Chains A and B, each alone.
Chain A
């Protein structure tokens, strides 16, 4: 055996311990188990040094908490370790391809994080005097210019806080426009069966009745069904384009023409704008309103479920109804138009306190400047190219839901190819975890049986795409060869095995509850 200068072996002395090896303590190498902060006895601790209060709260007699606030406090090193250990149980786009269709998990440039943390943005109060926030308002104005130019739309409402909030904004503008025109009979919203759940939920939330539009065999809106359902009772259609099957709506111009001829508005769900940015302007398609998920197309980090940002571009017809506030530039610099001003007399209201997701505006604007008009167009092309490459490589084994013609930024497969294997889409997805990949979007869109929706984004190299395709083909081979156990009991190599979601819903335990002293917490047990 060769030894190095301190007498240690330069190679492992034996093979890596194989399956069946158990550590003495239950530890698993670098992967640390981590208790809840409530499971340790840190009820009186704190990890923040504060000065003594200069006076008591005696002037608040009768208004002060009677019961002490029982929340654990950890020292700084314990806190850091707690969250670092937890972090290591997460998949992340920084770790590997994250092919969640419709979610657009692309690279999050760290430059954008750095710039959003400049004190001039991060430590800025939303209601500081307008003279003290000219740079922030200017940035909002520049962002608005980019969004309007990229979409070919004349106006934008920046304030919605996420995609679904943008949908709400768009429908409220449509509602206000119909009300202003005396079109009070319009109570229906048409949306395809393949729509994101947020579309019907939003329409219902503002009091519209939802009517589904059928789909053609090639995964597009059924024009004849749309024409039949359009009437003077329809307020709007909500159509995603490219749609949730990853396909461009070829008849989009006819869809918007029919919609407008019926006196309705065309709301476009812009979740998939990343596929066409720089190559197609929604304004040229007859769109009246479309939200843009800055956390998708313009790469603000998803953060484990937000914050997002969902500005809504609006057509000439809807622009007067945009919610307050918005930025205008006048002789004395930039200012915000608020609801009480004459120029906002038709505004439908307000979506949020203050002015929206400034932290996301900074990141998205930095992303746009970095790419430029040319880079954004290239990003869309690469996203589409990557998806088509995956579709081409996997189609020999897995069944593409719409094999004919190109897809856009995501490739959709169904589960026909798994028939007879005893393996479901869910099982297949869980087995991907063991191979080091996050599963694709499962069982969405609803129009495809056992849907597997794969969105690679433009951030993946050819090598990573091949690694991904090779892994899926290997898994598919195992599935078709009858190795069902690999799938039905997956994942095997994740921090936890498959979780019992039914139990969680049947016996909701949504907060940690203290146990009686000396009594061990009763574990939830599957029945």
Chain B
């Protein structure tokens, strides 16, 4: 077996040093009824050729985004990731290292995390950011739990524009801990609808911009209302590229900003791994979840970086920790950070403008198809469109023609009563030819 260096002679020698007759001696503590005498009923080992053949055959039964016109978004976006990113993250020293517990021989990872935290803080307009969480949805749930710790209140108000799966994850975790979740009805453009639900028990208000229907909202007034009630404002962003163009959560008064960072550096990966961005006001830093990297000096006074404020964390505080998180999404944070370093603020702004421009072209083309209605009043790179009949059926039909026409709302939230609403995104990878093909196919289907 190519991954196992020991041979039979090595094993015999080692058993001799140990003083064991056979390897079974080493498993003597396993109760006899639980010992397997032979391998389980699964195939035997296989060479690279066989493994690659099986996996390639599976991959071939999927339709990748790059195979044709593609308009899916709804929390996962296709962007051009520079080849440099994937090259660097495959370097052994980044790929095959652990969480940087020994900072003297992990300065590479630690400096990356410090730069990543600074980039995320700047993007979100916040003072501090952590070293990443699993993804945007779990970051959203962590933000709500953190708001509870900060305010010692038990209610979270979620806007109807929050990604339904983010709401589901948050609800699952927060209600287990005894919180009350007040989720407002799904609506394309009604972030302000949360205002009516804010009361003196409210720990936080969670709004998303651009929301799951693509609508961009200035949430400054919601921040003011939340603060007036003693609650925190959590702003969620599922398309990190939008932060290059739109007002940042910090500018609008957010106390905690969470985002899905997948758009930069990470790729689609069928939903994971992704990278959760988590940033907040400095005064809340000791209530933050997850790893934090901080600057310090070494014994000779040189600048260096370490994991810090670990008294918040499970391995020190155990049941009193701010979160149970141990592993985060380090390599995806690295990918995000490399892509961000390549873009710079200037490049990200340009990228965001290109995305917005493509989406305007898409929206204009869709508006020209009789029977379609663009519902999103102000969008970044994604729009909700009302179609005649079932959006899910339409998407399956178009997939048969090789066009991935977007995400039906019913796929995310069947109870929203929006079975005829389709979400379509455009990015810098969307060509005019893609849009023409989509419009032609839609025009044929919708009469």
Q: Which residues of A contact B390 (CB under 8 A)?
A: none
Q: Which residues of A contact B10 (CB under 8 A)?
A: 461-462
The 8 A CB mask of B279-313 against A (1 = contact, 0 = none) is 00000010000011111111111111110111101
State whether the Cβ of A417 lies closer than 8 Å to any Cβ in chain B: no
State whether the Cβ of A439 lies closer than 8 Å to any Cβ in chain B: yes
Q: B343 contacts A359, CB within 8 Å?
A: no
Q: Which residues of A contact B4 (CB under 8 A)?
A: 375, 378-379, 382, 458-459
Bound complex: CA A129 to CA B114 (Å) = 39
Bound complex: CA A366 to CA B95 (Å) = 17
Selecting from B33-41, B190-198, B200-208, B227-235, the interface stretch reads B33-41
Q: Which residues of A contact B54 (CB under 8 A)?
A: 369
Interface residues of A in 297-351 (CB under 8 A from B): 301-309, 323, 338-340, 348-351
Bound complex: CA A198 to CA B321 (Å) = 9
Q: Which residues of A contact B237 (CB under 8 A)?
A: none
Q: B48 contacts A201, CB within 8 Å?
A: no
Q: B76 contacts A100, CB within 8 Å?
A: no
Bound complex: CA A458 to CA B14 (Å) = 13
- The A interface, classified by DSSP as helix, strand, loop or mixed, is loop
State whether the Cβ of A467 lies closer than 8 Å to any Cβ in chain B: no
Distance from A67 Cβ to chain B, minimum over Cβ atoms (Å): 7
The 8 A CB mask of B81-107 against A (1 = contact, 0 = none) is 010101111111111111111111111
Bound complex: CA A34 to CA B341 (Å) = 15
Q: B378 contacts A60, CB within 8 Å?
A: yes
State whether the Cβ of A48 lies closer than 8 Å to any Cβ in chain B: yes
Distance from B123 Cβ to chain A, minimum over Cβ atoms (Å): 7
- The 8 Å CB contact of B104, one of A94, A113, A499, is A499
Interface residues of B in 55-99 (CB under 8 A from A): 55-67, 70, 72, 74-76, 78, 82, 84, 86-99
State whether the Cβ of B221 lies closer than 8 Å to any Cβ in chain A: no
Closest to A171 in B: B176
Bound complex: CA A210 to CA B4 (Å) = 40
Q: Which residues of A contact B64 (CB under 8 A)?
A: 119-120, 122-124
Q: A302 contacts B26, CB within 8 Å?
A: no
Q: B93 contacts A92, CB within 8 Å?
A: yes
Q: A278 contacts B39, CB within 8 Å?
A: yes
Bound complex: CA A131 to CA B411 (Å) = 14
Counting chain B CB atoms within 10 Å of each CB, the highest count among A62, A92, A98, A392 belongs to: A92
Distance from A470 Cβ to chain B, minimum over Cβ atoms (Å): 13
Q: Which residues of B contact A373 (CB under 8 A)?
A: 39-44
Interface residues of A in 257-298 (CB under 8 A from B): 276, 278-281, 284-285, 295
Q: B415 contacts A340, CB within 8 Å?
A: yes
Q: B342 contacts A48, CB within 8 Å?
A: yes
Q: B245 contacts A352, CB within 8 Å?
A: no
Q: A133 contacts B62, CB within 8 Å?
A: yes
Q: Which residues of B contact A353 (CB under 8 A)?
A: 75, 135-137, 163, 165-166, 169, 260, 271
Q: Which 7 A-B pairs have the closest CB atoms?
A: A73-B344, A354-B271, A120-B59, A349-B172, A303-B331, A135-B61, A126-B271
Could you give 20 example pairs across A and B, Cβ below 8 Å? Answer: A46-B350, A52-B354, A53-B350, A69-B244, A79-B342, A89-B111, A103-B98, A108-B96, A129-B395, A163-B327, A278-B40, A308-B327, A353-B169, A356-B272, A366-B51, A373-B42, A374-B1, A388-B26, A499-B299, A505-B294
* Supplied contacts A47-B82, A353-B163, 4 more A-B pairs, CB within 8 Å: A92-B95, A306-B332, A499-B298, A508-B309
